[in-house]
Structure 1
């Protein structure tokens, strides 16, 4: 190659010496090429550029980078911060538009602390994910994030978040969730325990405090236990002095939440303060009483009034939850002597004792003088007359049937039943009844032979009356057969018997 260069030198002449500077690249230009790592197919034409247009030694740091190779992927798209907490941050991105001819190997996430210039990789090797979470971060950290796609040809240009990420304590405003049963007045009886659990929210844990009627809570009367998510107010044995408004206050870095709970501690009321018997007349007695001095720390539901007969001493309730303080008790028994008492009642029940009348109410018998003059005895004697006649009737063979009629008479008449003008008294196939003027004839399992005219006759000393009807017993498949009865020293009698085919 040296001999060839020597032989060609004379032929070049001055033209060759004029073009010599363009054939020898400067060290600075070579360093710039190595730093930018241009594609090999683009290195050949660069020595042909004029020497005068070559950059100065400091120019590579300010010069624009060479366009990326087709083997290197482009920058990822839509780099976004999805979530940030007091110890972690999650970012996501979309794949680049160009993945490179050699394929995508993964992504590299890098972080740079604010004020520093060094980018530190988060993962040691490329990962094929488009979302990544950085954990165990320290409060107060402030840094930038960028992500770049990696192929076998190298690392593509990165996508950088526009704003730095600041790891700081997440503050959740305090909020109290009062249970539904505590949104109204919470009622307990004296001696019962009060155990109220009030859930709340807030991050970090807010500071909780309780007040009673606007004053600081007395630890001798109630105790408080506050956790991360609730506060519990506990009173072992409630007293009436524990009634009032309890207020829970949550405070968190200038934020505040309050909730009020009304507690009412009650007990049975006292008895009415006084009672007296106002008047007694006929079978009635009037009472009056005064309300109790102690209502049990709640309103009264009314009064219960009872009476007792002096003979038995047993108390019977006359009125319940009666609101007025005066009443009239009626329907008392003549000749008896009564005492009365009144209980007061509230949500806890009746008072332990009652107000009892000192006076007794004696129900006297009224003086009634019998007046015999002018009394005329009335004669109620009456001849028989039928108020409801017999009605024609049709019956089915084998099914018992009844005939009805009504008669009016005084004195009580004698009732005679006949069939076809013949007396049927004593015949076992018939049953006659008479009660309160209603006459009934029952024909047991009739056959067509029982058809005919039936008559009911009523007779007393003042006269007689009768009504009749026609009974028809018919049915399909019945026929009459005759049979000769046995002879027992009497005349043979022929009986007609109806049978079904």
Structure 2
């Protein structure tokens, strides 16, 4: 039974061993792990009868044990009896038995297929399925300009191209003299910077400059300098000294005169140019006068068409300086487009209006609302500097009818005309009737009555004196003065005054004969009253005269 098992086992492994024959076929540099199978090939050429036993020795997964399998090969093939074959089979089994126990061998076996796959893989990868993308150059560099220039060097600046394409390796700067086509490369190696200094130039040369960007797709179209540059030292670069008042919006009224003086500096003498809103100035409307140190913008009579942005440019060779002046010509606004009476209630009226079509070339700052009574037609301001487009007029008089008008305002002033409501507001009477209180008229008639009587007085000869009293009564009483019961007439020595019930009698420089009793009497239709006093006139006595 064991021999039968060996005989059956050996033929079954023979085809496996033959499958290993292609292993030595790959010629290019076989790995050291694949060398043993190459030496095991002669073992398969052993005698025909011994081959089944020898091939059965190694495990189907282990190629290197071919050397140990070659050990039982010496017995002669063909003449060996069947017993020898049977003996060789157990020997081969004993030799081959340890092979499956090696743990590292199965790890080496997958390397052989990997070499075959590696030998087959390159042809598959080398077959191109899609065409390679074509490299695209960049667009031209932008805004090529002069940064600095002197008698031997020229500094150029530029901006990156708008389209990069297949990347960007750097820039190449080239220049040539005017009226020639020999372009000279300033930098042999492309520079990644956006600035380059061209050195060792000849003074007074007029140069054209261009910048080319480079990438795997090749050079780009050139970015050219707008104007040729003269290689020379600029003594004083141009500079505009804009006055502070012109740094913001400059506002003038329609009809006013405009005279703007803008100083500048530069050497040699700069070239001055002006433009308005990007267009050349019209010499018929704006006058420009230039000197060595300043430029004058003169407008004899300003109009709204003169509003806009004026740009002044001073230039010396490739250097320039610019300044912008914003000029605004304003005037009175137009009236509101319309005004409407929305509602009337109680003593109030609600109005709405729309902004004017003409704002006077400036913003509207407010509105003025006025009312007028239909009876008088006089206009009175009720809202001033009002910012909203609707408002309420209050404190209207009951029973009156009112019209309303609205003016618009800006920084120049109030509009000359106003928008007037087409309808009127009538303030209805609520129904309250006013009945005045009936007061009895008071009777102020009264007989004369002295509230302040006369008082006795003493006077000195030669010194004027006055007598005073107060009387009341209605109708106004008539006042008379008497001396010793005799009415004083038109004597110039006496002066009589009656003012708002105060009665005064002035005696001018009285003598000793002027003393006596003085009476004041007041009379009207209801009666009369009188008061009296005594006046004593004293003589001054000189003591020295009496002694003599």
Q: TM-score range by the shorter chain?
A: 0.3 to 0.5
Q: Going by fraction, where is strand more abundant, 1 or 2?
A: 1
Q: TM-score, normalising length from structure 1?
A: 0.45
Larger Rg, first or second structure (1 or 2): 2
